[in-house]
Amino acid sequence: MSDLSQQVKARSPFAEAWDMFRRNHAAMVALAVLGLISIGAVVGPYLYPTDPFDMVWAPFSPPGEQGFLLGTDYLGRDLLAMIINGARVSLLIGLAAALVSIFIGVTVGALAGFYRGWVEEVLMRITEFFQVLPTLLFSMVLVALFGASLPMITFAIGIVSWTAVARITRAEFLRIRELEFVTASRAAGAGAGKLMFGVILPNAMPPIIVQSALMVGSAILFEAGLSFLGLTDPNVVSWGQIIGSNRQYILDASYTVTIPGLAIFVTVLCISLVGDGLNDALNPKLRQR
Amino acid sequence: MSLLSVKNLRIELKTRAGVAPVIDDLSFDLDAGESISFVGESGCGKSMTALGLMGLLPQGIGRVAGGSISFDGEDLTTASEARMRAIRGNDISMIFQEPMTSLNPVYTVGEQIAEVLREHQKLGRRAAWSMAAELLDAVRIPNAARRVSDYPFQMSGGQRQRVMIAMALACKPKILIADEPTTALDVTVQAQIFDLLRDLRRDIGTSIILITHDMGAVAEMADRVIVMYAGRKAEIGPVDTIIRHPRHPYTKGLISCVPHIQTPLTDARPDLTEVPGIVPSLQEFGADACLFASRCTLRTEQCTSARPVSKAFEQHHEAECWHAEDL
């Protein structure tokens, strides 16, 4: 028996999922690209210290000319510097907004799925209320009312996108709370908080992780949409804002719009591919022994 | 005074057709270090008794409607939820029928055992972990020091049940409730688990409440037996006495159901016997009649018109049957 247990190498569920994930080439490439973008966002401004607000040259200098790799925008600002600095804001808002909505969604879904009864009724009606709100309009109202600061934009995106997480979490809780190990934990003296977040939630994580990954992408898109409409902090650069401020010149200098657009497209695509890879890796039905 | 004293316990379950007493007027005592067994078919309220004792009846569906459960002088039916949490896993712990699903799949077995110790014994992380390894060794899992960091899926059913036992006994509880602990395991493993439980009971002095439908398991494990039928106590007494001379036709039926490999089938015992019929549905629970009457060969007028009273025999043997003396 001890021979056998030596052969069966002890692997945590995490290691197992990573093994599955590695086999998905598209997801691995996407993860690598995302890694590069993130590194660029973190160290880029130090390697390329041009101020994105500085008017360094004449407007609409095409990419590759006059020493500007991506050209200049309508005010003669260096587009490369704007893209690099914009990556910070776009990724940060994407991550932070996703965190906000995961936090709200998991809390609401966990309470509803665990307590059932009137708690579930009330929470799920609230969730439905948020589901039927026109999301873009609602977040525009929030930002317009409370000011276009980064925290407010993050919150406005988070508050309109938590419903999917809440519903997924609740569904998982409803399934898992009936399993025998939950009763066993109860019989071992675990309290409600421990049962919810120490026993059930770790088992509910796979679909929540996948949903969260996808949500980072949609939050980035959402932020781009808001800044395109001008609802953005004027003191920072984001990809959507570059598109928004250059949108009048789309026919004359299309690169000022397509380059930040491409940045958004690549980032969100990579996030989706990673999310897809996570789904395959974490879904027990697709996992082979 | 006995360790656990259940008096006139009544547990009601809300069903679509109304409220049914799944435990109807159950009384029994359990002494420290004693092993008592509940036997009966599925749906006789054995598991409900266990959940009732633990205060784990399904919320909003089941409730204790009457009677008392006195543990060490404290009435558990009126204890607060916080107090029950402190008792569960510490003073009274439980092992379940399905070892395959009773362990949390995302934690290593060591983490799960250590968790109980940290919760109740307030041990530090490291102390709890090394204690977990010791416990695994105590339940005879080979190579315990390494297997403590295994995940449940790396273990066999028998090993998982041992882990469950290690978890349940981690805090040296006064009572261990074992709800059909070997039903899902094969027979050789079953014998090992019973050996283990017997030894641990001797070492720790834990009282055991064994819930089973297997008279063979009862004979092997318990000092006393309570035969349950349709939420009622049919018979209670020392195991030897009851097996030698059952005073309730249901008990008799259960005993005759155990196959004896060594005794050849004869004319008197031509086939494996069974108790004809099935347990009555929940709607019939609580009726003022003998609920076994529909399946009983000794049925008379009295059986269908009044609930049998408890009749006492020598050696604390009691049976609830109108014909107990005749058996």
- pLDDT tens-place string over residues A62-113: 777 777 777 777 777 888 888 888 888 889 999 999 999 999 999 999 999 9
Q: Please, are residues A240 and A265 in contact by the beta-carbon 8 Å criterion?
A: no
**Which residue of A184, A190, A191 is in closest CB contact with B102?**
A184
For chain B, how many residues are written?
Answer: 327
Confidence of residue A2 (pLDDT cuts 50, 70, 90): very low
Q: Where are the alpha helices (DSSP H) in chain B?
A: 46-54, 81-87, 109-120, 125-138, 144-147, 157-169, 187-204, 215-221, 239-244, 249-256, 301-305
**What is residue B264's predicted lDDT score, i.e. its pLDDT?**
63
A52 and A89 Cβ atoms separated by less than 8 Å: no
Asked whether the predicted pLDDT for residue A46 surpasses 60, the reply is yes
Q: Residue B178's CB: how many other CB atoms inside 10 A? A: 28
Query: Are A1 and B142 in contact (CB < 8 Å)?
Result: yes
Distance from CA of B230 to the nearest CA of A (A): 24
Question: For A187, which of B56, B147, B149 is closest by C-beta distance?
Answer: B56
Test mutation, B88, B108, B113, B209, chain A, max A CBs within 10 A: B88
Shortest CA distance from A206: residue in chain B: B106
> How many Cβ pairs closer than 8 A exist between chain A and B?
75
Residue A114 pLDDT > 80: yes
What pLDDT is attached to residue A162?
92
Q: Helix B125-138 to helix B157-169 angle, to the nearest 10 degrees? A: 130
pLDDT score recorded for residue B38: 92
Which of B101, B115, B116 has the CB atom closest to A181's CB atom?
A: B101
Question: Could A191 and B149 be called an inter-chain contact, meaning their C-beta atoms sit closer than 8 Å?
Answer: no
Q: Is B261 on the interface with A (CB under 8 A)?
A: no
Identify the pLDDT of residue A123: 94
**Contact at 8 Å (CB) between B112 and B163?**
yes
Looking at residue A286, its amino acid is L
Whether residues B143 and A13 touch (CB distance < 8 A) is answered with no
Is residue A153 within 8 A of residue A93, CB to CB? The reply is: yes
Pick from A1, A181, A186: CB nearest B56: A186
B93/A117 CB distance under 8 A: no
Q: Which residues of A touch B169 (CB under 8 A)?
A: none
When pLDDT is averaged across residues A250-255 and rounded to a whole number, the result is: 81
Q: Which of B95, B100, B106 to mutate to test the interface with A (most CBs of A within 10 A)?
A: B106
A-facing residues of B in 112-171 (CB < 8 A) are: 115-116, 119-120, 142-143, 146-147, 149-151, 154, 164, 167-168
Which residues of A fall within a CB distance of 8 Å from B96?
180, 183-184, 187
Question: What pLDDT is attached to residue B262?
Answer: 59
Cross-chain residue pair B60–A179, CB shorter than 8 Å: no
Whose tokens are 């066993």? That residue is A184
Verify whether the Cβ–Cβ distance A12 to B151 is below 8 Å: yes
Q: What percent of chain A has pLDDT over 70?
A: 93
What is the sign of the dihedral through the CA atoms of B254, B260, B265 and B271? Answer: positive
| Contact check, Cβ <8 Å, B88/A13 | no
Contact call for residues B326 and B306 (beta carbons, < 8 A) = no
Contact A255, A63 (CB under 8 A): yes
Q: What percent of chain A has pLDDT over 90?
A: 27
Task: Please report the pLDDT score of residue A266 as a whole number.
Answer: 92
For B28, phi then psi, to 5°, come to: -165, 165
pLDDT of B112 reads: 92
C-alpha distances out from residue A146 to A32, A58, A233, B5, B113, Å: 38, 36, 12, 64, 50
CA A23 to chain centre: 23
User: How high is the pLDDT of residue A10?
Assistant: 53
pLDDT tens digit sequence for A24-41? 888 899 999 999 989 988
What the block records as the tokens of B286 is: 């609580």
Find the CB nearest A185 among B104, B120, B154: B104
Q: How far is B151 from chain A (nearest CA, A)?
A: 7
- Residues in B closer than 8 angstroms to A8, CB to CB, are 154
Confidence of residue A281 (pLDDT cuts 50, 70, 90): confident
pLDDT at residue A288, as a whole number: 47
Nearest-5° angle of CA A84, CA A88, CA A90?
Answer: 105
Predicted ipTM beyond 0.85:
no
List per-residue pLDDT tens for chain B, 327 residues long: 689 999 999 998 888 878 888 888 889 999 988 999 999 887 778 888 888 888 888 887 888 888 899 998 889 888 898 999 999 988 999 998 888 889 998 888 999 999 999 989 888 899 999 999 999 988 888 888 889 988 888 888 888 988 998 998 888 899 999 988 888 788 888 888 888 888 888 888 899 999 988 888 888 888 999 999 888 888 999 998 888 888 888 888 888 877 766 566 666 665 666 777 788 888 788 788 888 888 888 888 888 888 888 888 888 888 888 888 877
Tens digits of residue pLDDT in A181-201: 998 998 888 888 889 998 999
The whole-number pLDDT of residue A287 equals 52
Query: What pLDDT, on the 0 to 100 scale, is given for residue A279?
Result: 82
Which chain A positions have a beta carbon within 8 Å of B89's beta carbon?
187-190
DSSP per position, B220-266 = HH-SEEEEEETTEEEEEEEHHHHHHS--SHHHHHHHHTS--SSSPP-
Starting at the edge strand that comes first in sequence, how are the strands of the sheet with B224-229 ordered?
B92-95, B175-179, B207-212, B35-39, B224-229, B232-238, B317-319, B311-313
- How much is the pTM? 0.82
Q: Give the C-alpha separation, A196 to A193, whole Å.
A: 5
| Cα–Cα nearest to A204, from A156, A171, A227, A237 | A171
The Cα diameter of chain B in Å comes to: 67
Residue B192 in tokens: 């090992």
CB distance A188–B88 less than 8 Å? yes
